[in-house]
Amino acid sequence: MTPPLSRRSLLRSALLATAAPSVAYAGSGPAASAVLPTPPSWAVRPFALSEVALGEGVFAAKRALMLDHARGYDVDRLLQVFRANAGLSTRGAVAPGGWEGLDGEANGNLRGHYTGHFLTMLAQAYAGTGDRAHAEKIGSMVTALTEVREALRHEPRVLGVAGRFGTAAEHVRGSHQYVDLPAGVLGGAYAITLSAWVRPAHDATWGRVFDFGDDTTRYLYLTARNADGVPRFAVTTAGPGGEQGLDGTAALPLDEWSHLAVTIADGTGTLYVDGTAVARNPAMTLTPAALGTLRNNWLGRSNFSSDPVFAGAFDEFNIWSRALGADEIAALRGSRAADTSAGRGDLAAYAFDETAGSTFADDSGRGLDATLRRTWGGPSHPGFLAAYPETQFILLESMTSGDYTKVWAPYYTAHKILRGLLDAHLHTGDERALDLASGMCDWMYSRLSRLPRATLQRMWGIFSSGEFGGIVEAVCDLHALTGKAEHLALARLFDLDRLIDACAAGDDVLDGLHANQHIPIFTGLLRLYDATGERRYLDAATNFWDMVVPGRTYAIGGTSTGEFWKAHGVIAGTLGATTAETCCAYNMLKLSRMLFFHTRDAKYMDHYERALYNQVLGSKQDEGDAERPLVTYFIGLEPGHVRDYTPKQGTTCCEGTGMESATKYQDSVYFTEADGSALYVNLYSPTTLTWAEKGVTVTQTTGYPRERGSTLVVGGGRAAFEMRLRVPVWAGDGFRVTVNGRAVDGTPVPGSYFGVSRTWRPGDTVRVVVPFRLRVEKALDDPSLQALFHGPVNLVARNTATGLLPFGLYRDAALSGDLLPTLTPVTGRPLHYTLDGTEFAPFSEGTEDPTHVYFRRVEPSVVFGGTDSGVANPAGEDGTSLLDEIWAAAPFGTKGALVRRVRERVDAWVSAGLLSAGDGRKVVDTARNASYARGA
């Protein structure tokens, strides 16, 4: 027999076995790479992910599917948009697309957010599994982001690639880079030839090969693709309406070199493509001389600000002060200009042979060296890190209404990146990640601290564009690590006073608000309360939660319809295809968890169980995929809804939070009292807790929710503490606890915790029996619209019908009030039943079956024990029926108790004139003669 581990040896073995450190709070367990101090305001604190190992079960199975994605996805694809923004090589990677690509919704103006989610997923996966592959991916991503920030700090650098003849200069799409030529480059010529080799990388229209002009009135340009997709040259002194132009006849091929040339002389202009004249205009009266000296002389950038920057590569660009002949231009196709009879351009000649620096040498002899620049200049602070220019943040400061096609939640995106970096640091100890995170907050403080408070209030009140997610929580966590006063001051700059003050006062102002824009605000307010002690922050968060649960919460634990909230108490009136946004469930879980840390109120963990076991589990498809996380955006609650696990165009916010959820299922199974005197068992889930502070382990073995209970075995050394076992609010009679086979005295109260205090010894075994009953939950605004639950599990009907299904449930109700006998179990499939030919199954199963979360409760006649009395089931003005009133008194200890209840209510209904005396006798006789199951 192996002797029990001492507390010291247990701690040492835990540290050795736990390959992955995790987010920890001071005193909560094994030393992590970085520790967030436990706020004094927390009555309860969590354990680190690495201290709670998932055992075999539904959570481990769902996580394994997500880990397929974590291991298989090429993170260079995520980094593509960051590297492009910094003008770095994207290594041939293809951007993820959807919200993370330049061509996705709103032109990808949220790009970068998904990288933050992915970092958090990897960090949590590493903490929970110890798989070094996840840590290695984190390390490579942090390395890349460090290089990106360094590149953004400085002037752009030439990105040399293989060219037509030697080296060429690449302008990565999304880099916003162009070449700035000196004034006078056109030399006031009356005759001219402009020649360039280009390799377009994208089919965007109006991206300029070159544009020389003062504004949008006086200019000449060559675009690779006009509105018809073909090259166009134009010159004008009177804006677009006065253009004298030349249009090509065919589109330039993408990712291939093409030679373009334009000549103007003696009133005739000619456009050449690959040495062949494709357009001629004999009526071109304008020449560079007519334009005078122009201010903006650009390669790759347009004088029209709405036009895209040219994406692709440039090789030789030459300007001659004469019109080359057709033979000379044809010769340029096969050789460098210097090796042809034309020679280098005498006005300007750029070979683009540079492989470093930010300038291009002019070989014309005129000394007109060019400079590589960004259209937006550079960041206002060296800590800036993003996958798009700082202009997104700058534009927000002057916006008065939202327009996500122009500015789409830049501080929300910053939050995701910041959170991912913090998690990377906390879970792996990478100091570079902390430096990047700290730099981002230094940069944000430098921008926001100079703005008037009125401007900030306006910004944060703008729908979508002003959304900032959980940035306050992340900044407060960073402040806990850095101690920098500026970081705490930054967190407070996001205060949206009218929302905070209303919620602190208990005024429900949520109707019409965007749900996920506002839920994470309140986790931030709790962290501000922790840091400042300001009571209004705590009051606002507490009252806000009560405005959402249950008044705006669906049976599965989700909230919102079409991303917005409706009036309090409206559930039936909001069912549709776009209910229950997955991000909202994720953020409500975070808020519930954090409120519990402050209050110990079991209602928060009751909600946590509901949302976790239903919406969160059910939002992940039961398949693995290296390319896609397979997570829902909305979960439609309309009848017959089929879940979409590849929503919108991909890489959505909900797929991001879905990745995170699937790698932290164990984060709230156990908590500890802040002083270590008690262990909270919040969820019945197969797990092993290593509580190094106490020198013990707690191994929980259960098939819950298929199993109606759980077994917990204490290991390690001896330790005194109270084990507090959550009694679910729905549990009712029958919750029992034994220790080493002996019943524990006490009366469990649903919606609270049942405590067991003792000095625990190795091998002590706690058995918890949790009574399950089939029950219904009624929509607040329509009691006949109901959802079916077995214990914590929402059972959904699988049926292709698109209308509400009618079901009656009293026909075989047990004396306990359990409705389960009315359903027929499906052999070999736990928690699967049939009723009237329709299958019911757990919502948590991530299938593509059409489902009905809500159904229409129809009890047309009075039936007991499967026997129909032949009497119509009467109902009062409020819709409550006779059967409702009878069964509301369940459980019944004996059949006689049920019959007495039936007689009592029948007499009352007869007296009220709602039931005839004869029908009343039939009802009583049927109840007396029927047989009943006892039920759970």
Reported as a single tens digit per residue, the pLDDT across 295-309 is: 999 999 999 999 999
Query: How does strand 24-25 pair with strand 35-36?
Result: parallel
pLDDT of residue 878: 86
User: How do residues 715-770 score in pLDDT, each as one tens digit?
Assistant: 999 999 999 999 999 998 899 999 999 999 999 999 999 999 999 999 999 999 99
In angstroms, the CA 461 to CA 898 distance is 57
Residue 4 has a pLDDT of: 37
Question: pLDDT per residue over 800-825, tens digit each?
Answer: 999 999 999 999 999 999 999 999 99
pLDDT band at 5 (very low <50, low <70, confident <90, very high): very low
- Does residue 827 surpass a pLDDT of 70? yes
Q: How many CA atoms lie within 13 A of 574 on its CB side?
A: 28
365 CB-side CA count, 13 A: 6
Q: Which of 540, 549, 533 is nearest to 505 (CA)?
A: 540
Q: Is the pLDDT of residue 268 over 90?
A: yes
- C-alpha gyration radius of the chain: 34
pLDDT in tens, 143-177: 999 999 999 999 999 999 999 999 999 999 999 99
pLDDT in tens, 34-74: 678 999 999 999 999 999 999 999 999 999 999 999 999 99
* 88: CB partners within 8 A, 6+ apart: 147, 148, 151, 159, 172
Query: Is pLDDT of 8 > 90?
Result: no
837-865 per-position pLDDT tens digit = 999 999 999 999 999 999 999 999 999 99
Mean pLDDT of the chain: 95
- Coil/strand/helix, residue 150: helix
Q: Determine if the pTM surpasses 0.85.
A: yes
C-alpha span between 560 and 538 (Å, rounded)? 23
User: CA-to-CA distance for 116 and 660, rounded, in angstroms?
Assistant: 10
Q: What pLDDT score was predicted for residue 11? A: 35
Cα atoms in the Cβ-side hemisphere of radius 13 Å centred on 192: 22
- Gap between the Cα atoms of 655 and 118, Å rounded: 10
pLDDT for residue 23: 54
Angle at 694 between CA 688 and CA 699, to 5 degrees: 15
Q: Please, which residues have CB within 8 angstroms of residue 143's CB and are 6 or more apart in sequence?
A: 432
pLDDT band at 588 (very low <50, low <70, confident <90, very high): very high
Find the Cα–Cα–Cα–Cα dihedral 272, 274, 275, 278, rounded to 10°: -40
Do residues 465 and 515 touch, judged by C-beta distance below 8 A? no
Q: What is the pLDDT of residues 369-381, one digit of tens each?
A: 999 999 999 999 9
- Using alpha carbons, list the distances in angstroms from residue 662 to 65, 589, 628, 925: 9, 13, 13, 54
Find the mean pLDDT for residues 912-926: 97
Cα–Cα distances (Å) from 905 to 262, 891, 893, 901, in that order, read 96, 16, 18, 6
Does the pLDDT of residue 7 top 70, yes or no?
no
pLDDT at 13: 35
338-368 pLDDT, tens digit each: 999 999 999 999 999 999 999 999 999 999 9
What distances in angstroms separate CA 495 from CA 359, 401, 499, 592, one per listed residue?
45, 19, 9, 20
Dihedral sign, Cα of residue 106, residue 112, residue 116, residue 121: positive
- Burial class of residue 533 in the structure, from the number of CB atoms within 10 Å of its CB (0-12 exposed, 13-18 middle, 19+ buried): exposed
Q: Which CATH class is domain 164-374?
A: mainly beta
- In angstroms, the CA 281 to CA 273 distance is 15
Separation in Å, CA 475 to CA 22, 415, 439, 443: 19, 9, 11, 12
pLDDT for 936: 64
How much of the chain exceeds pLDDT 70, in percent?
96
Segment 691-715 mean pLDDT: 97
Domain borders along the chain are 7-32+669-769, 164-374, 774-929
Q: What is the pLDDT of residue 15?
A: 33
Q: What is the pLDDT of residue 25?
A: 55
Cα dihedral 31→36→38→40 (10° resolution): 150
The C-alpha torsion from 418 through 420 and 422 to 426, rounded to 10°, is: 180
What is the structure's pLDDT at 28? 40
Q: Is the pLDDT of residue 524 over 80?
A: yes
The pLDDT of residue 732: 86
pLDDT at 535 over 70: yes
Q: How far is CA 548 from CA 577, 640, 752, in A?
A: 20, 26, 21
| Half-sphere exposure for 606 (CA within 13 Å, toward CB) | 17
Segment 547-576, tens digit of pLDDT: 999 999 999 999 999 999 999 999 999 999
Q: What is the bridge-based pairing of β-strands 806-807 and 854-857?
A: parallel
CB atoms within 10 A of CB 183: 12
Q: What is the mean pLDDT of residues 80-95?
A: 96
For the purposes of burial, counting CB atoms within 10 Å of the CB of 927, is it exposed (0-12), middle (13-18) or buried (19 or more)? Answer: buried
Q: Are 311 and 317 in contact (CB under 8 A)?
A: no
